[in-house]
Amino acid sequence: MLTSIPCVLMRGGTSKGPYFLASDLPADTALRDQVLLAAMGSPDNRQIDGVGGADPLTSKVAIIGPPTREDCDVDYLFAQVVIDEAVVDVSPNCGNMLAGIGGFAIEHGFLAPVEGETVVRIHMVNSGDRAIARIPTPGKQVEYEGDARIDGVPGTSAAIMIDVEETAGSFCGALLPTGNSIDVIDGVDCTLMDNGMPVVAMRAVDLGRTGYETRDELNADAELKERLESIRLKAGRLMNLGDVTSMVTPKMFLLAAPRNGGALCTRSFIPKVAHASIGVLAAVTIATACVIPGTTADGLANVPGGNRKMIMLEHPTGDFAVEIEVSGPSHDPKIERAALLRTARKLFEGNILIPGRVWDGKNSNLETAST
Ligand code: NQM
């Protein structure tokens, strides 16, 4: 017998995946992960037996529940479903899927919409941090359509402004977990940083690359991927993440001087496949590296002055603007806040059907999902 689980399929920023109510999934996390693997069709490099899109950017899941932080309206747990391994990784956040949370939360009654715009305070459970999303709600209805454009997504949608707070050292304990702005790993200068996403940032030239390669060129570069994985495994330990073999963090960045008027040119691996654009919290972390003296971005980046800066990061399909607010002296700045523009689109509402051999529908948080 199939178990039917309500879900909404959404594009969040430049990612896509099913959004579930936590109460509709098994309470036991090991069983929940089996259900998510079955829903997405992993492990299989085509994800043919599930709704995953066979790309890390479309093999993502959002799980939404009542807030467990008093100053939030909703809990958001992100899960990266690995495509070709039976692994569900809840260690990172995803700032792209985050873009769909506000609308989902309003439409599922976690908070009442306000005429015009509704502010949704989101507890990002993976890290414990908070994000504040401004959702357009004319007529007290979530508006998905609009004229905002983000690179990596064709067309336009309603603008969702998101502020992320308290992200320094979210996963690694400190913005610079080793205390250094550069550590040398396998002979390569690496900035190990976490401002919402653990990243390893390297100058592309130090790896014999330009940093302007296309996504396809990077994905075909087996020698580069092998070197990056060796660096990543060592960096993970240095960043207090332990053995990161089965984790999707830290993300790996190649940096180069900007060439389209931005602050810095980026190419990223997440962590084994090249990103089509750039991750959101990864972008916040790289924008932070641009303003911290002595990092691998320092010297390459063209950073605007002032305490409130719009840092434009170039990526394979355009650019991504991160607004950051810094305080303190320029030799030791503190990042107060980061803000971003995203869009989301509700694509499909329905039910995912899970084979009975995986789950019989019992033991959900509310025991209501079975048919
Ligand atoms: O860094 C891809 C994405 C992401 C993550 C990844 C993200 C973030 O673009 O906050 O959004 O790094 O796997 O969705």
- What is the predicted pLDDT for the residue at 360? 87
Residues 333 and 348 in one domain: no
Q: How many CB atoms lie within 10 A of CB 154?
A: 5
For residue 48, report the distance from its CA to the centre of ligand 1, in Å.
Answer: 23
Quickly tell me which residue has 């178990």 as its tokens.
3
Distances (CA, A) of 319 to 240, 263, 355: 31, 10, 41
Q: Is residue 178 part of a domain?
A: no
Of 236, 301, 321, 313, nearest to 271 by C-alpha is 236
For residue 97, report the distance from its CA to the centre of ligand 1, in Å.
Answer: 8
Q: Is residue 72 part of a domain?
A: yes
For residue 124, report the distance from its CA to the centre of ligand 1, in Å.
Answer: 14
Q: Are 219 and 273 in contact (CB under 8 A)?
A: yes
Residues 13 and 119 in one domain: yes
Q: In the predicted model, what is the mean pLDDT of residues 216-235?
A: 98
Q: In the predicted model, what is the mean pLDDT of residues 124-133?
A: 96
Q: Is residue 310 part of a domain?
A: yes
Q: Is residue 246 part of a domain?
A: yes
Q: Is residue 285 part of a domain?
A: yes
- pLDDT per position as a tens digit, 257-267: 999 999 999 99
Residues 248 and 352 in one domain: no
Q: Are 188 and 207 in contact (CB under 8 A)?
A: yes
Q: How many CB atoms lie within 10 A of CB 153?
A: 22
Q: Is residue 175 part of a domain?
A: no
Q: Are 316 and 267 in contact (CB under 8 A)?
A: yes
Nearest residue (by CA) to ligand 1, atom 3, is 279
Q: What angle do CA 249, 30, 120 make, to 5 degrees?
A: 60
Measured from the CA of 12, which atom of ligand 1 is nearest? 14
For residue 40, report the distance from its CA to the centre of ligand 1, in Å.
Answer: 18
Q: How many domains does the chain have?
A: 2
Q: Is residue 168 part of a domain?
A: no
43-48 contact pairs (CB < 8 A, 24+)? 43/82, 43/83, 43/84, 43/85, 43/86, 43/87, 44/83, 44/84, 45/83, 45/84, 47/83
Share of the chain above pLDDT 70, in %: 98
Probe target for ligand 1 pocket from 232, 270, 284, 288, with the most ligand atoms within 8 Å of CB: 270
Residues 85 and 215 in one domain: no
Quickly tell me which residue has 């959002």 as its tokens.
62
Between 228 and 361, whose confidence is greater? 228
- What is the predicted pLDDT for the residue at 189? 98
Of 301, 302, 300, 288, nearest to 332 by C-alpha is 288
Residues 222 and 264 in one domain: yes
Q: In the predicted model, what is the mean pLDDT of residues 163-175?
A: 94
DSSP labels, 294-314: TSSSTTT-----SSEEEEEEE
Tell me the sheet residues that pair with 325: 308, 337
pLDDT band at 369 (very low <50, low <70, confident <90, very high): very low
Nearest residue (by CA) to ligand 1, atom 5, is 279
Indicate whether residue 270 lines ligand 1 (CB < 6 A).
yes
- pLDDT per position as a tens digit, 24-47: 999 999 999 999 999 999 999 999
Q: Are 306 and 65 in contact (CB under 8 A)?
A: no
Q: How many CB atoms lie within 10 A of CB 223?
A: 9
CATH code of 360's domain: 3.10.310.10
Residues 257 and 351 in one domain: no
Give the integer Cα–Cα distance in Å for 140 and 229: 48
- What is the predicted pLDDT for the residue at 79? 98
Give the integer Cα–Cα distance in Å for 255 and 264: 7
Beta-carbon contacts of 258 under 8 Å, excluding residues fewer than 6 positions away, are 264, 265, 301, 302, 312, 314
- Structural domain that includes position 40: 2-159+344-370
Tell me the sheet residues that pair with 5: 352
**371 pLDDT exceeds 80?**
no
Indicate whether residue 279 lines ligand 1 (CB < 6 A).
yes
Q: How many CB atoms lie within 10 A of CB 371?
A: 10
Measured from the CA of 15, which atom of ligand 1 is nearest? 14
pLDDT band at 365 (very low <50, low <70, confident <90, very high): low
SS3 state at 218: helix
Q: Which token pair is 106? A: 């309003």
Give the integer Cα–Cα distance in Å for 126 and 119: 21
Quickly tell me which residue has 């592309």 as its tokens.
204
Residues 194 and 288 in one domain: yes
Share the mean pLDDT of the chain: 95
pTM for this predicted structure: 0.93
Residues 120 and 211 in one domain: no
Give the integer Cα–Cα distance in Å for 148 and 235: 37
For residue 151, report the distance from its CA to the centre of ligand 1, in Å.
Answer: 14
Q: In the predicted model, what is the mean pLDDT of residues 186-211?
A: 98
**124 pLDDT exceeds 80?**
yes
- What is the predicted pLDDT for the residue at 112? 98
Residues 190 and 147 in one domain: no
Residues 317 and 217 in one domain: yes
- What is the predicted pLDDT for the residue at 332? 84
Q: Is residue 325 part of a domain?
A: yes
pLDDT band at 130 (very low <50, low <70, confident <90, very high): very high
**364 pLDDT exceeds 80?**
no
- What is the predicted pLDDT for the residue at 179? 96
Residues 304 and 359 in one domain: no
For residue 279, report the distance from its CA to the centre of ligand 1, in Å.
Answer: 3
Measured from the CA of 277, which atom of ligand 1 is nearest? 9
Indicate whether residue 58 lines ligand 1 (CB < 6 A).
no
Share of the chain above pLDDT 90, in %: 92
Residues 148 and 220 in one domain: no
Indicate whether residue 282 lines ligand 1 (CB < 6 A).
yes
